[in-house]
Structure 1
Amino acid sequence: MKSGLKVHYFQHIAGEGFGSCYDFLKAHQAKITATEFFALPSDTLLEIEALPQIEDVDLLIIMGGEMSVNDEVNYPWLKLEKRWIRRYLATGKPAIGLCLGGQLIASALGAAVNRHAHKELGWTTVYRIDNVPKHCFELPREFNVLQWHSETFDLPKGAIHLAENSTCRNQMYQIGHNILGFQFHPEMTPEVLQKFLDDDDKIAIFDGEQIQQIDHLKKSPLHYFLQGNDLLNRAIEFVLKTA
């Protein structure tokens, strides 16, 4: 990874921050900037010029959030964000979408994002799809990561399906050599998870068989997080190298 990389991230909820990859990118002297959509008043009408100039971004990372990509009425900036993402991706530059971020990339490229039959919250095993082409991002045969979602994406046109689990089939995809979309949260850190679990409003909307006990999640050991963190660091190197 070259030093001085200009990394921009889209943040949708307060407290989430940049996740585990902040230290990884800073170690490579990356210049990190952010658009904090959550800080905008709900009635703010943005113009595309308010977002970064595409030529000033070497890598885009799109974070998660509790809203639906389809809820443009309550979050009017979503429409503009998807428009900007579409323009950015058309240049062939590298991008990574995490949970809502993976859904936003899919939506921007015309794929459906809908309520999933089963909400997921907690640590789950995700499996690599068999017979993935050799040029694709290399995943372990199975790996454990944190889930926190009630909606999921269809695969965008031209995407390669990379990972699945028994609850939610579309867990990860690749488009070209420069785009990776995740349904799960490889960026999660103990500090961010603790903050989310202490927010009763965030927890209240989750119910069902795939919701793990909150007290148990609050005791998640560090090594639970590290597999996903390492996966994300390798994903960043992959999209930068092959874009």
Structure 2
Amino acid sequence: MKNISIIIVLGIVLVSGCAKSPNYSNQGSNANNVQPSIQTNSNNNQVDGSNNTKNTNEETFGNSFFFKSGVSQLKYKGQFLFDDIVEKDVILKINVVDNLKYGKLYELKLDPIESVPNERLSLGYFYVQKDKVYKIEPTKDNLIKLKSSEEMPSGSVIVCQEQEIKDTLSKNKPGWHHYLEVNGDKREYHSFNNQVSTGYYESFIWESSKGLINYKSGYGAERDSMELQLDNNNKHGELFQ
């Protein structure tokens, strides 16, 4: 009986010791369940454990002559000659229409202004890349084409870039004139139609780190004309969203 009691006691001790010992046999399987560390590939993109790519350096297509990222509205001093002469401060909205693969599509539009027709409140649609700003004719087909393939629709014009663009027509030759001048930190785009005395004209002046600082459009003899001049009193955060 004593021998049997000793064997039972030894069995209890051995069982208790095994219960308290660390379970090394599961270490390998637990290691596979550790939260995967984030790796960086050669393009500086983050890759998680499920092989999904997260771009940490998202391309913002920042163009120093366009508005800074995050600016959604700015104040301008406006002069409008329609039924009456109106001079007042106005708000220009910088609306992001779409984020595309090689650039961003914006619409620049003014808040409603008394006596100014609604169709003149929009300064246009602009496709902004790092080195160029295109003005797009905002037809339904053009916008679909740009969004689906990022091919420049016919009739699009470059209104800002580093290099000048010379007018293809001589100064006095009738037709549509387009040219871009380089003036230090400014890029000045001009277009006008001199086929008739009341032809339409439009100009954009862009300045590095500021965006659009001046805009003009109208018809010959200053009929139905408007001019916007950036208000230098705009303060960071004052008119931003």
Q: Same fold (TM over 0.5)?
A: no
Structure with the bigger RCO (C-alpha within 8 Å, sep 6+) is 1
Bigger proportion of residues as strand: 2
Question: TM-score w.r.t. structure 2 length?
Answer: 0.29
Superposition TM-score, scaled by structure 1 size:
0.29
Q: Which has the larger radius of gyration?
A: 2
